[in-house]
Amino acid sequence: MSNSTRDQFNDLLRSEGLNAGIIPVSNIPNEESRLNEVNRLGILNRDLDQEAQYNALTQLAAIITKSQIGLINILGSNIQQCKTNFGFNVLESTLTEEMPREISICQYSLASPQEPLIINDLFLDERTKHFKKLEAYENLRFYAGSPLISSRGFSIGTLCVIDDKPKKIEHDQIEGLRLLADQVVNMLEQEFNDNSNQNIDPEDISNVIETNRITKYFSTSSILFADFVGFTKLVEIMEPGDLIETLNTFFKGFEKLSKKHGVTKIKTIGDCYMCVSGIPTQQKDHAFEICSLAKDMLQFVDGINIQHSVLDKPEWNLRIGIHSGPLIAGFSSDSFDVWGDTVNIAARLESSGEQGKIHISEKTSNYLGEKGIVTPRGEINLKNKGSWKTFFLDNLI
């Protein structure tokens, strides 16, 4: 299809979408920077349809989720390009090669770009209930997409699956989709870097590598915050030297336990200890390891308190919050640090928890699966984050 014909066809589709009542996504976070990232990687100008490795990933996505169609879609400013697909015939592939972003389902992933977009029934969801009025969507009922997040933390599109029947998919299937999406991005960026480095003076390559190490996006991780309840009161009643010595005892113990479980300490802030698992290895058991650490931390505090009781010293009480999700990690002022909403939510879980307990999010509970024995806490309001379903971790199997 020629460019002029394609533009005319897209204008017609936009008009049909508007008349059908489809409301495009708005207030996209960091949209200008996101589009700069799409342009930097040059993905809109690349043809992936003939590359077997990308075709295989769309097929795997369909198999894992037991769906009919798998696609890699890239989102520009006003268009969506399907770079490769599994399950479409020749006509369907031609028609979906490019379409207006305003009538794509993938566009809604841009509203929360670090979370999967799962729509169990397109006919019932407020965002997509009018799509059935368009011929291209009249037989589609299910959608699941995992965002394609670049190493700089921007969404460039989705790896998604669709089906003609409404359904639900399990946490492990969503995780499988995420892992495949990570693989798509890794291949795209590796090819881009290979092509870019061909034009760089060999003496400058080390500088490029060092620059790329400054920050990197990780699609999954688990963050732990722990602090001591009543610390202000302890400051008032303890001698400064005693206070500092006790804090150092706890933090040194926590660091040893972190190393035991393969968890990375981020920093201590006052009486707060912060650490992360899943970086950089992205191992599947990151939630289990950090929860195992949390249980050991509570036991360690109990052991120190037994000693304090004998010596007639004050008791220290720890509370812990854990959340799992994506984040940006890297080096700032020569020290390791992490940023993102996952970090903020873990901090909120800690501050709204209870002493002697491990307060975890539903996402962390899902990662634990049958290995975690939890007590539902119900819906609680996390400051500036709204209502969340949370749990107390009782034990690990």
Average pLDDT over residues 134-150: 95
Is residue 25's pLDDT more than 70? yes
More confident residue, 199 or 317: 317
User: pLDDT tier at 146 (50, 70, 90 boundaries)?
Assistant: very high
How far is C-alpha 70 from the geometric centre of its chain's CA atoms? 21
Among residues 225, 246, 224, which one has the least CA distance to residue 235?
Answer: 246
The answer to whether 153 touches 328, Cβ cutoff 8 Å, is yes
**pLDDT for residue 143:** 98
Average pLDDT, the chain: 90
**pLDDT for residue 114:** 86
More confident residue, 283 or 13: 13
Average pLDDT over residues 363-391: 94
Task: Calculate Rg over the CA atoms of the chain.
Answer: 24
**pLDDT for residue 94:** 86
Encode 204-252 in three state secondary structure.
HHHHHHHHHCCEEEECCCEEEEEEEECHHHHHHHCCHHHHHHHHHHHHH
**pLDDT for residue 197:** 53
Rounded to 5°, the CA angle 85-91-93 comes to 20
* pLDDT digit string, tens, across residues 73-108: 999 999 999 999 999 988 888 888 999 999 999 999
Average pLDDT over residues 208-212: 42
* pLDDT digit string, tens, across residues 346-355: 999 999 999 9
The answer to whether 263 touches 291, Cβ cutoff 8 Å, is no
Is residue 203's pLDDT more than 60? no
What tokens were used for 4? 């002029």
Is residue 320's pLDDT more than 90? yes
User: pLDDT tier at 214 (50, 70, 90 boundaries)?
Assistant: low
| Cα(124)–Cα(130) distance, integer angstroms | 9
| Cα(317)–Cα(354) distance, integer angstroms | 10
Architecture of domain 3-197 in CATH? 2-Layer Sandwich (3.30)
Write down the residue that tokens 């589609």 correspond to. Answer: 140
The answer to whether 396 touches 358, Cβ cutoff 8 Å, is no
**pLDDT for residue 7:** 85
**pLDDT for residue 205:** 36
| CA dihedral sign of residues 180, 75, 329, 145 | negative
Domain borders along the chain are: 3-197, 215-396
**pLDDT for residue 52:** 87
CA 379 → CA 288, 322, 369, 389, distances in Å? 23, 16, 20, 4
Rounded to 5°, the CA angle 318-322-324 comes to 170
Lowest pLDDT segment from 5-19, 191-205, 232-246, 380-394: 191-205
Is residue 31's pLDDT more than 50? yes
**pLDDT for residue 211:** 44
Is residue 196's pLDDT more than 50? yes
Average pLDDT over residues 33-56: 91
| Maximum Cα–Cα distance across the chain | 84
Is residue 187's pLDDT more than 50? yes
More confident residue, 344 or 197: 344
Average pLDDT over residues 267-276: 93
Indicate the CATH number for domain 215-396.
3.30.70.1230
